[in-house]
Amino acid sequence: MNETFHTHKMNTLPASFTRFMKISSAVLPWLIGITLCLLILGFILIIYSPDDYQQGITVKIMYIHAPFAWLSTCCYIIISAAALGSLIWKYHLADVTLKCGAPIGAIFTALTLVTGALWGRPTWGTWWVWDARLTSVLILLFIYLAIVMLARAFNNQAKAARATAILTLVGLVNIPIIKFSVNWWNTLHQSASLLRAGGPTIERAMLWPLITMLLCFSFMFISLYLMAMRNEINSRYIQILQIKKARRAQH
């Protein structure tokens, strides 16, 4: 019976959905396993990493803050690419990618701001300043939330996909502002110390824990993204069945 149900489901959904469900089902256990292994290794490296001579132990917030910050902008680039795929090629999976990415991006951006505030309080002496980097990241959070709310404002999926895609592409202008704000304006926020011309400026004892946590959070992000997309596809399948059932009832 399960095999019959699975076959019917695959025949009902678009081909891109069926391929995605098959591939994601195979890779998800591996992604989750790698995430857990990297998390354990990362915590061990963080415990033995040195304190900063100025910031003390609070510098270890960096190992959580930096991955959230990195992935919050990466997520927006992903959904922007999906927005193009949805607008230009009407690709079904692109619509799902955009819809599922916005809430994840919003959460990661919010956690970027929270961990940044926790780090900034002992370092800058305040929870918040209207710094160019901080303000542009706050705007990113508002854009994510606007995309989420706009997606839920339409009953028609096609209209929702088009509206959210346009808004996403308009908001893309904020990404280079976030990236280069520390170079364009005088800001309290430090400039890049990892991905920069000339190589990382961070000392090796702190570099390895940071890289490990970046990888850990990246695999966690991918896992959450795939699970969210699978849930959305399953939800759309249920909607298709409900529509078919309602039509049969009318006849």
Domain extents in the chain = 63-191+204-246
In the predicted model, what is the mean pLDDT of residues 107-113? Answer: 98
- pTM equals 0.90
Average pLDDT value over all residues in the chain: 89
pLDDT band at 155 (very low <50, low <70, confident <90, very high): confident
Indicate whether 171 pLDDT > 70: yes
Share of the chain above pLDDT 70, in %: 87
Instruction: Determine the Cα–Cα distance for residues 233 and 119; give it in Å rounded to an integer.
Output: 38
User: For residue 141, what are its two tokens?
Assistant: 């959070």
Residue 222's alpha-carbon distances to 35, 214, 248, in angstroms, are 10, 12, 39
- Three-class SS state of 1: coil
In the predicted model, what is the mean pLDDT of residues 31-40? Answer: 98
The neighbour count for residue 71, using CB atoms within 10 Å, is 23
Indicate whether 238 pLDDT > 60: yes
Share of the chain above pLDDT 90, in %: 63
**Of the given ranges (110-119, 141-150, 194-203), which has the lowest mean pLDDT?**
194-203
pLDDT band at 193 (very low <50, low <70, confident <90, very high): low
* Residue 1: per-residue pLDDT: 43
